[in-house]
Structure 1
Amino acid sequence: MDLLYRILGIALVALGIFINYSINRDRFNRRNQAGIEVFPSYGSNQSAQFAEGCGKTVAILMILAGIILLVASLPQ
């Protein structure tokens, strides 16, 4: 069971870091030369911010759950 927790913990941490990296990369790619994020409309701005906020929250929860599983899989 410890091996399963360790594998699942590593997978959750890696996936959470990847999701966080992807969101930050997308934010960076939307910026113009002045450093301001550019959106085609107000609606797309609001939906992107909401989706990114939810995605970052899920990514942080995945990283925390992965760390907890890794700590739980340590020998006592």
Structure 2
Amino acid sequence: MDAITAQLALGIIPLVIGIGLVYWISRRKFYRRNAMGAEGFSSFEASVFTRFIERIGKWVAYALIIIGVLFIWSYLQMKKEKKQSEVKTEQPSQR
């Protein structure tokens, strides 16, 4: 596995995990709501702890998404540079 393929894998994996984490947290929050639209918790402590953990989880998910996008962008730049260097080596010097 060369560096370019590894770069792409390192971009896709955190991107998919980050998007999945945001979806999962949002889905949990949606299904906690009752008919009036208020979130239902068994206690105050459960409410505070759950919201805190979900907030941390969303920040981690956003960081993973940003890291994934940066790795994919880096992959595209490496691919572009490799293609340009191949084109330069294929063209004979014109004299």
Q: Shorter-chain-normalised TM-score: which range? A: over 0.9
Of structures 1 and 2, the larger Rg is shown by 2
Aligned residue-pair number: 76
What are the residue-to-residue correspondences of 1:1-76 with 2, within 5 Å? 1-74=3-76, 75=79, 76=81
Q: How many Å apart are 1:2 and its aligned residue?
A: 1.2
- String of CA shifts for 1:17-57, please: whole Å, max 9, x gaps: 00000000000010000110010000000000100000000
**Normalized against structure 1, the TM-score is what?**
0.97
Amino acid in structure 2 at the alignment position of 1:14: V
Identity %: 33
For the aligned residues, what is the CA RMSD?
A: 0.6
Where 2:16 maps in the other structure, the secondary structure is helix
**Normalized against structure 2, the TM-score is what?**
0.78
* Structure 1 residue runs of 4 or more that deviate by more than 2 Å after TM superposition: none
Amino acid in structure 1 at the alignment position of 2:69: I
Q: Using CA pairs under 8 Å that are at least 6 residues apart, name the structure with larger relative contact order, 1 or 2.
A: 1
| Aligned position for 2:93 | none
**Alpha-carbon separation, structure 2, partners of 1:54 and 1:29:** 19
- Where structure 1 has 5 or more consecutive residues not aligned to the other structure, the ranges are none
